[in-house]
């Protein structure tokens, strides 16, 4: 269910089938509308939930019926971020597309502000969905869905091992160790070569009471003892051999968890319907636990946002379509958020009437996301973040000194920040 | 233009020898020029568009800060080159290449030569074995990497079944650092893919060796086996061996697919091309910096190739 790729995994190029998929993506245009050059081109990454591609094409088809403007939907398997980056270089890319905002997109004039279409309904958007898409007072993207990421756990496995839901990262390390037995591992965080533990980095930093960047976005805030402790604990999970490696599906897909190969899996709200259907009540969720004395439990709230490309020759038409689909058509927005995987609608009015999210484990996730959620920072660009990713790999996999690695990485991140 | 002139000259000589008048000769020259461009033109155009222009464009970009665009933005002089050389990640990527080359070049050389000698000696089903060893060359690096990743070296893969069967524990083949087991999938996939190709090159070299040399050696009392291999076969393969080493070195510098697909760009197994890919073509989109890195890499490859050529004398006329 790759409904969301966090910044780190987006940078980590891709693993496995992505290589083929990225190439296949070049030809993976799913036609909608007339297919002529007058059509708008809209790019999506490949959502894992059944029915999403057909839904995206149906929305395009509905638009053609309503406004007589065709929309070609490109459904992109594999490394969407890289394919999109290349698409935005020339004038053959998308007219509108989904992504996550980063500052370089604005600096290099890849996208245009959308204030005129969002202004009338701005107050209906959750402020935490507006802030990550605002630079210098201008809103550049319309948030489509919110995707909180949490740990899913098997209640029966916890009972059998006699363990409780961990309250701190230290507890999680110990719990994962107790749950590991033979081929069944305590925890699974992804198929990346670093055992997926880099997917947890941002959450671990925030759970230690810090952030990637300081409040003014002028400096980094990850080169300190608290973060060093957090990343060292991720290393311990690995050195304890409590983490599953080399699984066939990535962390965004709950299949490894459903197959009973791990007791805990890092995943997102999108996987909830699939997990509920397969396991009934034999599962629960918990947020990323607190690290150290200043720490707090946190929920990383990802998701996808709609943009209009600055190089589009049909900017005005693209804006009209984005406005129609992501501002006006609340029924379609609800369908996109709740009919396939589960996502929290960014519109307050829609979130309030999302019944599927108002009871049981989905409601627990929504509550945790509301109380402990944090989102992306557009100034945390790939250039600034890459040294941190490398440092985390050195700590988690190679067991290098955490503070030294983070200090060295922070120096490089600061240089990259100066160039912004 | 010089090729055109040469052909024109050739036409004149041709007409002169036949004793014809100058007029029809001029026609032939015109025809030759036309056909020269018909055959050479498309390739020249392709080379210009897809190789020369991008190289020149890349050289220009390497002196500019160009992010998220392939148009030069701000002139920065040699700053991109300085930044790349100061970048420890880029320097580390060169170390990764060096380790890879230390493994892959001698192994490929020895095993390809071994296979070539074996295949050359057998008389039974020779074509079959030659084809079998060569077949993997036709497989894409991406496909082979996926088979290695998903079929052999994943959690439930063949490698872990073998280690379990032998009484060992499951290993994280693609991420283990102590010991660095990830080199096993990386080296074996390339060996499997390229051994056949280099075996064929060695076979061609073996078949060029005159049987007279062996017969003369036998007359002088040499026995078939190590002695003739050491003193006749191997020295006679000098030119082939040097070509294999140089081709292997360049291919190792260009290693990308198996690293990219097996390790996903992780910093512990990131050769230069994977690092440059993530710098320029990944989400960073720093085309200026990436171009500077590409030129540094090209210069290193040229220097290594020249040094090798000088040491081994590749291309000398006596070869």
Across chain A, mean pLDDT equals: 88
Angle between helices B238-253 and B88-121 in degrees, nearest 10: 140
Top pLDDT among A79 and B115 is at: B115
B187-214 tens-digit pLDDT: 999 999 999 999 999 999 999 999 899 8
CA dihedral over A204, A207, A209, A214, signed as positive or negative:
positive
Is A13–B174 a contact, with Cβ atoms under 8 angstroms apart? no
pLDDT band at A194; cut points 50, 70, 90: low
Structure confidence at residue B268 (pLDDT): 85
Closest chain B residue to A10 measured between Cα atoms?
A: B283
More confident residue, A50 or A33: A50
Nearest to A16 among B68, B149, B156 (CB): B149
* CB distance A16 to B150 below 8 Å: yes
CA distance A297 to A206: 8
- CA max distance for chain A: 63
Please state, rounded to an integer, the average pLDDT across all residues of chain B: 85
Per-residue pLDDT tens over the stretch B204-244: 999 999 989 989 988 888 888 888 888 889 999 988 998 89
What integer pLDDT is reported at residue B172 of this predicted model?
A: 85
Checking if the pLDDT of B274 tops 80, the result is: yes
User: Cβ of A20 and B143 within 8 Å?
Assistant: yes
| Residue keyed to tokens 């604005």 | A106
Question: Would you state the structure tokens that stand for residue B6, as one six-digit string?
Answer: 């040469």
Which element (helix H / strand E) includes B155?
A: none
Cis before residue B179, ω within 30 degrees of 0? yes
pLDDT greater than 60 at residue A13: no
- Tell me the mean pLDDT in the region A169-188: 95
Phi–psi pair at A44, nearest 5 degrees: -125, 155
What pLDDT is recorded for position B124?
83
Poorest-pLDDT segment among A93-107, A325-339, B30-44: B30-44
Under DSSP, the state recorded for B74 is E
| Backbone torsions φ then ψ of B222, nearest 5 degrees | -70, 150
Could you tell me which of A177, A195, A173, A182 has the C-alpha nearest to residue A250?
Answer: A195
Q: Write down the pLDDT at residue B19.
A: 41
Q: Which two tokens stand for residue B245?
A: 């080493």
The predicted model scores a pTM of: 0.81
Give the tens place of pLDDT for each residue, B88-114.
889 999 999 889 998 899 999 999 999
Put simply, whether B210 touches A (Cβ < 8 Å) is no
Return the SS3 of A300. Answer: strand
Contact A12 B266 (CB under 8 A): yes
Residues of B in contact with A382 (CB under 8 A): 282-284
- What are the angstrom distances between the C-alpha of A288 and each of A157, A172, A253? 19, 9, 18
Q: How far does the CA of residue B209 sit from the closest CA of chain A (Å)?
A: 43
Would you say A203 and A151 are in contact if contact means Cβ atoms under 8 Å apart? no
Contact (CB, 8 A) for A305 and A99: yes
Question: For chain B, how far is it from start to end, CA to CA, in angstroms?
Answer: 31
Task: Determine the pLDDT at residue B203.
Answer: 93
Tokens read off for B221: 């009392």
CB-based contacts of A145: which residues, under 8 Å, 6+ apart?
A3, A303, A304, A336, A337, A343, A344, A345, A346
CA distance readout (Å), A160 to A154, A155, A177, A263: 10, 9, 14, 11
Q: Do B266 and A193 touch (CB under 8 A)?
A: yes
Cite the DSSP H helix spans in A124-258. Answer: 127-130, 155-161, 169-179, 201-207, 225-239, 255-258
Whether A22 has a pLDDT exceeding 50, the answer reads no
Running DSSP on this structure, what letter comes out for residue A400?
A: -
Alpha carbon A153 to chain centroid, angstroms: 20
* Residue A101 dihedral angles phi and psi, to the nearest 5°: -75, 135
Give me the mean pLDDT over the B47-60 stretch. Answer: 93
pLDDT at residue A183 greater than cutoff 90: no
- What would the two tokens of residue A113 be? 């502000």
With a cut of 80, say whether residue B260 has pLDDT above it. Answer: yes
- When pLDDT is averaged across residues B166-182 and rounded to a whole number, the result is 87
ipTM of this complex = 0.74
Check whether A167 has a pLDDT greater than 60.
Answer: yes
| Cα–Cα distance, B188 to B208 (Å, whole number) | 30
The torsion angle over the Cα atoms of residues A374, A380, A384 and A387, rounded to 10 degrees, is: 20
A127 touching B, CB under 8 A?
Answer: no
B100 touches chain A (CB under 8 A): no
How confident is residue A327, by pLDDT bands cut at 50, 70 and 90? very high
More confident residue, A248 or A52: A52
The DSSP 8-state label assigned to residue A222 in this structure reads: -
Give the number of other CB atoms < 10 A from CB of residue B282: 25
SS3 content of chain A, % helix, strand, coil (to 5): 45, 20, 35
Structure tokens, A151: 């740990």
Task: Express each pLDDT in B300-312 by its tens digit.
Answer: 988 988 887 788 7
* Percent of chain A whose pLDDT exceeds 70: 90
Residue B117, exposed/middle/buried by CB under 10 A (0-12, 13-18, 19+)?
A: middle
User: Minimal Cα distance from B86: which residue of A?
Assistant: A412
Q: Which two tokens stand for residue A177?
A: 């160790």
Chain A contact present for B150, CB below 8 A: yes
Asked if residue A258 lies in contact with residue A275, where contact means CB atoms within 8 angstroms, the answer is: yes
pLDDT at B73: 83
| Per-residue pLDDT tens over the stretch A402-415 | 999 999 999 999 99
To 5 degrees, how large is the angle CA B259–CA B264–CA B266? 90
Are B226 and B143 a contacting pair, CB within 8 Å? no
Residues 192-231 of A with CB under 8 A from B: 192-195
Q: Calculate mean pLDDT across residues B156-185.
A: 88
Alpha helices in B48-87 (DSSP H): 53-61, 79-86
CB proximity list for A100: less than 8 A, separation 6 or greater = A7, A10, A132, A302, A303, A304, A305, A376
Question: What mean pLDDT is predicted for residues A45-71?
Answer: 94
């Amino acid at each position: 269910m790759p409904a969301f790729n966090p910044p780190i995994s987006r940078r980590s190029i891709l693993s496995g089938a992505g290589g083929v998929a990225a190439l296949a993506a070049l030809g993976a245009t799913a036609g909608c509308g007339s297919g002529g050059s007058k059509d708008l081109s809209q790019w999506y990454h490949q959502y894992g939930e059944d029915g999403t591609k057909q839904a995206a094409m149906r929305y395009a088809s509905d638009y053609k019926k309503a406004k007589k403007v065709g929309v070609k939907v490109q459904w992109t398997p594999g490394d969407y971020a890289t394919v999109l980056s290349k698409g935005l270089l020339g004038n053959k890319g998308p007219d509108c597309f989904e992504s996550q905002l980063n500052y370089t997109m604005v600096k290099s004039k890849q996208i245009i502000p959308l204030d005129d279409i969002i202004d009338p309904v701005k107050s209906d958007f959750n402020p935490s969905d507006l802030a990550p898409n605002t630079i210098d007072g201008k809103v550049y993207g319309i948030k489509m869905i919110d995707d909180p990421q949490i740990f899913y756990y098997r209640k029966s496995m916890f009972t059998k091992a006699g363990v409780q839901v961990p309250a701190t990262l230290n507890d999680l390390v110990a719990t994962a160790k107790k749950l590991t037995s033979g081929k069944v591992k305590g925890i699974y965080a992804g198929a990346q070569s670093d055992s997926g533990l880099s997917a947890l980095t941002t959450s671990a930093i925030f759970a230690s009471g810090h952030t990637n960047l300081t409040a003014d976005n002028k400096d980094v805030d990850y080169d300190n003892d608290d973060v060093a402790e957090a990343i060292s604990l991720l290393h311990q999970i690995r050195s304890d051999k409590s983490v599953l490696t080399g699984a066939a599906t990535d962390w965004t897909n709950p299949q490894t968890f459903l197959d009973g190969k791990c007791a805990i899996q890092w995943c997102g709200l999108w996987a909830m319907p699939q997990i509920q259907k397969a396991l009934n009540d034999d599962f629960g969720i918990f947020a990323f636990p607190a690290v150290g004395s200043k720490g707090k439990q946190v929920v990383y709230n990802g998701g996808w946002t709609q943009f209009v490309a600055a190089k589009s020759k049909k900017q005005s038409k693209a804006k009209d379509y984005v406005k129609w689909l992501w501002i006006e058509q609340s029924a379609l927005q609800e369908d996109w958020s709740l009919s396939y995987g589960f996502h929290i609608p960014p519109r307050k009015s829609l979130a309030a009437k999302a019944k599927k999210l108002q009871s049981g484990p989905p409601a627990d996730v929504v509550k945790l996301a509301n109380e402990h959620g944090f989102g992306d920072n557009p100034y945390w660009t790939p250039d600034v973040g890459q040294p941190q990713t490398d440092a985390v790999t050195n700590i988690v996999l190679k067991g290098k000194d955490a503070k030294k690695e983070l200090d060295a990485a922070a120096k490089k991140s600061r240089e990259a920040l100066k160039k912004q | 233009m010089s090729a055109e002139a040469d052909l024109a000259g050739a036409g004149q000589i041709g007409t002169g020898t036949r004793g014809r008048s100058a007029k029809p000769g001029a026609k032939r020259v015109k025809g030759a020029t036309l056909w020269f461009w018909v055959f050479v033109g498309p390739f020249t155009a392709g080379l210009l568009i897809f190789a020369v222009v991008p190289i020149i464009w890349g050289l220009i970009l390497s002196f500019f800060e160009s992010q998220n665009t392939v148009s030069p933005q701000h002139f920065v002089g040699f700053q991109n080159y300085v930044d790349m050389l100061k970048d420890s990640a880029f320097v580390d990527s060169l170390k990764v290449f060096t380790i890879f080359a230390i493994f892959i070049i001698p192994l490929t050389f020895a095993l390809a030569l071994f296979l070539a000698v074996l295949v050359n000696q057998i008389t039974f089903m020779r074509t079959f074995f030659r084809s079998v060893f060569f077949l993997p060359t036709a497989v894409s690096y991406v496909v082979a990497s996926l088979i290695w990743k998903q079929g052999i070296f994943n959690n439930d893969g063949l490698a872990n079944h073998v280690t379990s069967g032998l009484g060992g524990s499951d290993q994280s083949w693609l991420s283990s650092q102590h010991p660095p087991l990830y080199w096993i999938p990386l080296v074996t996939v390339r060996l499997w893919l390229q051994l056949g190709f280099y075996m064929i090159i060695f076979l061609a070299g073996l078949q060029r060796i005159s049987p007279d040399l062996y017969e003369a050696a036998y007359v002088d009392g040499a026995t078939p086996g190590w002695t003739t291999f050491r003193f006749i076969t191997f020295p006679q393969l000098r030119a082939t061996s040097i070509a294999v080493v140089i081709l292997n070195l360049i291919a190792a510098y260009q290693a990308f697919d198996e690293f990219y697909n097996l390790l996903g760009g992780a910093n512990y197994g990131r050769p230069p091309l994977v690092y440059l890919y993530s710098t320029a073509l990944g989400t960073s989109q720093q085309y200026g910096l990436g171009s500077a890195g590409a030129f540094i890499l090209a210069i290193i490859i040229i220097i290594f190739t020249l040094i090798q050529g000088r040491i081994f004398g590749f291309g000398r006329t006596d070869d």
